[in-house]
């Protein structure tokens, strides 16, 4: 009996549309990370990128639990003295909701050289519209439990 080994030529990618309206941020991010890595496919392989493209719409309508809107912070540092910038989740959601979802999904992916390639397959949009109609994306239903 031979062992199946996935090859680059065998990979078939699909496009998925995920509606983020009313979804909890962390649970949404784990499901998106699963689609990006290809763990939902039976032929998952850790050393190859066999994941799908994911389009997230309605990014501004996500929900968070607890006091995260007021207590969660995003940090950036310019490497200069006094260059630490802090932005709260409420302010980040108002200005750049796509960055909130991208940051959460990136935290769910493994920390290796493939991460940037996987993040390139993630498209996040603030509103319901997206310019990827030509790819014929399928709707991906996420059930909250």
Spatial distance between the Cα atoms of 143 and 23, rounded to a whole number of angstroms: 9
pLDDT above 70 coverage of the chain, percent: 99
pLDDT reading at 145 higher than 80: no
pLDDT reading at 144 higher than 80: no
In this structure, of 52-56, 60-64, 77-81, 140-144, the range with the lowest mean pLDDT score is 140-144
Contact status, residue 62 vs residue 103, Cβ threshold 8 Å: no
In this structure, of 2-16, 57-71, 77-91, the range with the lowest mean pLDDT score is 2-16
b/e map of 33-66 (b: 16 or more CB within 10 Å)?
A: bbbbbbeebeeebeebbbbbbbbbbbbbbbebee
What pLDDT shows up at residue 11?
92
As a whole number of Å, the CA-based R_g of the chain is: 17
pLDDT digit string, tens, across residues 37-50:
999 999 999 989 99
Spatial distance between the Cα atoms of 97 and 23, rounded to a whole number of angstroms: 13
Helices assigned H by DSSP within the chain = 25-37, 68-71, 89-95, 97-108, 115-119
106 band by pLDDT with thresholds 50, 70 and 90: very high
Best CATH choice for the domain 16-63+114-140 from the list 3.40.50.170, 3.80.30.20, 3.90.1180.10, 3.40.50.300: 3.90.1180.10
């Amino acid at each position: 009996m031979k062992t199946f080994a996935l090859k680059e030529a065998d990979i078939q990618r699909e496009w998925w549309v995920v509606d983020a309206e009313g979804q909890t941020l962390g649970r949404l991010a784990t499901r998106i990370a699963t689609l990006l890595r290809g763990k939902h496919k039976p032929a998952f392989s850790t050393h190859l990128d066999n994941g799908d493209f994911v389009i997230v719409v309605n990014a501004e309508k996500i929900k968070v639990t607890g006091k995260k809107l007021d207590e969660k912070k995003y940090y950036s540092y310019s490497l200069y003295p006094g260059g630490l910038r802090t932005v709260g989740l409420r302010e980040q959601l108002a200005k750049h909701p796509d960055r909130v979802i991208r940051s959460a999904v990136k935290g769910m992916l493994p920390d290796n050289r493939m991460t940037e390639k996987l993040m390139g397959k993630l498209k996040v949009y603030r509103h319901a519209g997206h310019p990827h109609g030509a790819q014929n994306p399928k709707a991906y239903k996420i059930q909250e439990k």
